[in-house]
Chain A
Amino acid sequence: MLKRYGAFILAAGALAFATGTADAQTPKRGGILKFAVSAEPPNYDCHGATSFAFIHPVRPHYNTLLKFDEPNYPKVKGDLAQSWTVSPDGLTYTFKLKPNIKFHDGSPMTSADVKATYERIATPPAGVVSIRKAAYEDVASIETPDPQTVVFKLKARNASMLTNFASPWDCIYSAAKLKQDPKFPEKNVMGTGPFKFVEHAAGSHWVGERFADYFEKGKPYLDGYRAIFIRNTAARVNALQAGEVLAEFRGHSPADQTKLVNALGDKVNVHESPWVCSLVVTFNTEKKPFDDARVRRALSLAIDRWQGAQALSKIALVRHVGGLLRPGYELAVSEKEIVQYPGYGKDISKARAEAKKLLADAGVKDLKFKFLNRNVPMPYTPVGVFVIDQWRQIGVTAEHDQPETKAYIGNLRSGNYDVGLDFNCDAVDDPNLQLLKYISADKSSINYGRYNDRKLDDLYEKQKRELDPKKRMALLRDFEKHALTEAYTFPTIWWHRIIVNWKQLKGWHMSPSHYINQDLQDVWLDQ
């Protein structure tokens, strides 16, 4: 009898567990997701924006042609595109669009809208700012043989085209609206995305509501979302701790992570990932003695990146030692290989002895300079202090100069500095984006080292055109080795992304970029 009931109880328990598990995995409909954003978008035009503060509130209103496959980043998948083919010569990209896609005003979305959108990005009309124009400079023409098909023809092969088409910034706009006014997206939010625009209270919040006619049936799960702008870090963490917001999608410092986990325990999930951002030391090569590669290389050799990564990871959001591409990225250098690069060896005494010799060879004694840094506490200040201390150990004195952001950027861009702590942070790992910092100043507006190096330009161009991943990898290694030997600009320690969200937030996936996976269409609330 007992045995029979025991079996029944066991079976019932198993069923309950199975149901519970299934319930936990089955998205629930409803609820408003409240999340914090530490800055605010100035206007509403995706094509002219660069900040995550734009992506987090605005992206849920839009779709892109492709997007990143969240759990399998950096693989891409269709967003508006149902399927696509690339011609064997790599010059023609043909996209078939998903059926029955509507804009929020009820009008159908067709290939004409995709064409108008990409023409706006590649050849912006007068007065329209297009930030990613260069990404589509290889596009020769865009054709629309039928309303569901769009064909991009390229002038030259480009290994990053699929990544470009998955860019979170390439929001698809209505051709009709753009025809009426090319600046329509600056002041209006009207896309095909999972959420319709409701309200933007400047300085306070942004509200989106579920788009009932969204083409992905059953999605989005949320009734809506409310992005609350909280600039002050302590206020943001307090808001999370109090449950006023359930998430913040940019990242937390280790100290804030500890505070939240101590306070909320198992009520929160902690997500961690290497981050596609790094702080880089850059030299004004127009100033002596930083025009001498020996001096630059000496200052790179003096930095103990391996010990520094361990120590700094406890207090700052940096953790990973890497070359020019994010450690862990499929095209990045391995640890085995990177220890051969100048400044990356694990014997720091030997490296510092070499650094001192290089300075002596260059005739540089008692080197003193101002080290320009941004007055942002995390992670700029601790990394700046760390680097200065490392240089002190080879007899170099650097004065930490931390003006506010606008003066910092202004000084970097105008060359009004000796040595600076610059940042390299774009939406994705793609080498065409990440290496722009390192190519010649006459080809890249973000090369603040003010140098021209044709070898780097040549290698950059070759890797850009190379569709074979192995060959591209080899070119990237050549680029990296040369850049780090010349040491015009070199990475310190790569960032580490930490996200602490309340557990009832489901369906959101961590990624190495705080710019992607923010359409919220798969996010739901377990409450």
Chain B
Amino acid sequence: MLRYTIHRLLLMIPTLFGVAVLVFVLLRMMPGDIVELRLLMDGGQVSPEALATERARLGLDKSLWLQFYDWITGIMVGDFGTSMWTGRPVIDEIGSRLGLSLQVAIMATVLAIIIAIPLGTIAALYNNSWIDHAIRVFAIAGLAVPSFWLGMLIILALLYSFEWIPPLTYVPIWEDPLHNLSQLIWPAIAVGYRYSAVATRMTRSTLLEVLHEDYIRTARAKGVYERLVISRHAVRNAMLPVVTVVGLEFAFLIGGLVVTEQVFNLNGIGKLFVETVTRNDYTMVQALVMLVAAFFILINFVVDLLYAVLDPRIRYS
């Protein structure tokens, strides 16, 4: 197991290097220029000399090889560079916003699990009853409704009912829990609903499969109480694919809060992603893609390890 863990950790390095090469090349192929965008976006006369000065200041006049070399050697010593748009260190820019996105993602995950596991279990146990149908409608609606649209509905409902919208300025939860929760609970519900729908369907279908397994029949034949059959044998074993879905959905959330953060004006990673891509802020986009890639790799790794914990039959060697 230890050997497997080390092997997987080492494999992350070439994977991340591949991501680095890909994102660097693709970004340079995109049309447009951060300097032109910044200085000409709103009109006004800007001389070619001023544009050239700014390009030189940002290092965009260097060859692509040199730009890549500077960036990759910087990463190796933990320096992700400075944002071409703001001039501030990339790490600071991301660090100041990661907490918010993580909090929304965690809140949405908790909400999803709280909703999905009981609902999925009930639906499986009452298979093809009206309860099952109702839960399936709830889940399908959750998959069909985009999070940002639900977010807009939530905001409009709050606005028209109470002339109130969630606060626009972020305050960390340890500074003012009420302010923080009143801001983040709504986007968490908006994204958590879809998330719960995915997990509910997965819980239901895997539980239905598990309930037909021999060991469940054996447990029942041995006279084990039905409640224990469900909780100890069926649900636990059904959790394996659910864990995968929860893990991957969490990773998706980190990189995927893009539109929802715009709707709620949350200063998180998603909003930063949109802004930096539209600005052609190479250093920021590169760092964000690397961050999300690292997150996905790490979550996949953790899910694989959790498999072994949840299912004694799985052992990596």
Contact = CB atoms under 8 A, between A and B. Distances in A.
Interface string A232-244: 1011001101111
Interface residues of B, number: 55
A20 interface: no
Contacts of B275: 203, 231
Nearest to B84: A42
Interface string A170-194: 0000000000000000110000000
B110 interface: no
Interface in A394-416: 403-411, 413
A235 B259 CA distance: 12
A370 to B, nearest CB: 15
A201 B96 contact: yes
B163 interface: yes
A342 B48 CA distance: 33
A130 interface: yes
A50 B39 contact: yes
A129 B57 contact: yes
A202 B262 contact: no
Given A202-B93, A406-B33, A235 B263 contact: yes
B152 interface: yes
A134 B49 CA distance: 11
Nearest to A264: B163
A136 to B, nearest CB: 13
Given A51-B42, A127-B57, A238 B47 contact: no
B43 interface: yes
B262 A407 contact: no
B205 interface: no
Contact of A50 (B40, B96, B168, B265): B40
A441 to B, nearest CB: 11
Contact of B262 (A51, A235, A242, A445): A235
Nearest to B167: A244
A203 to B, nearest CB: 4
Contacts of B31: 403, 406-407, 410-411
Contacts of A423: 43
Interface in B254-282: 262-265, 267, 271-272, 274-275, 278-280
B17 interface: no
B317 interface: no
Contacts of A231: 262, 265, 271, 274-275
Given A50-B39, A244-B165, A406 B263 contact: no
Contacts of A364: none
A444 B38 CA distance: 18
A43 B38 CA distance: 11
Contacts of B274: 231
B168 A228 contact: yes
Interface in A219-274: 226, 228, 230-232, 234-235, 238-239, 241-245
Interface of A: 42-43, 48, 50-53, 124, 127-131, 133-134, 186-187, 201-205, 226, 228, 230-232, 234-235, 238-239, 241-245, 277, 403-411, 413, 423-427, 433, 436, 444-446
Per CB-CB distance, the 6 closest pairs between chain A and chain B, nearest first, are A406-B32, A425-B43, A407-B31, A410-B32, A203-B267, A242-B165
Interface of B: 30-34, 36-51, 53-54, 56-57, 85-88, 93, 96-97, 152, 155-156, 159, 163-165, 167-170, 262-265, 267, 271-272, 274-275, 278-280
27 contacts: A43-B87, A50-B44, A129-B50, A131-B44, A131-B47, A133-B47, A134-B47, A201-B169, A202-B96, A203-B272, A231-B271, A234-B263, A235-B263, A238-B165, A241-B159, A243-B163, A244-B165, A244-B167, A404-B278, A405-B278, A407-B31, A407-B32, A409-B32, A411-B31, A413-B40, A436-B45, A446-B40
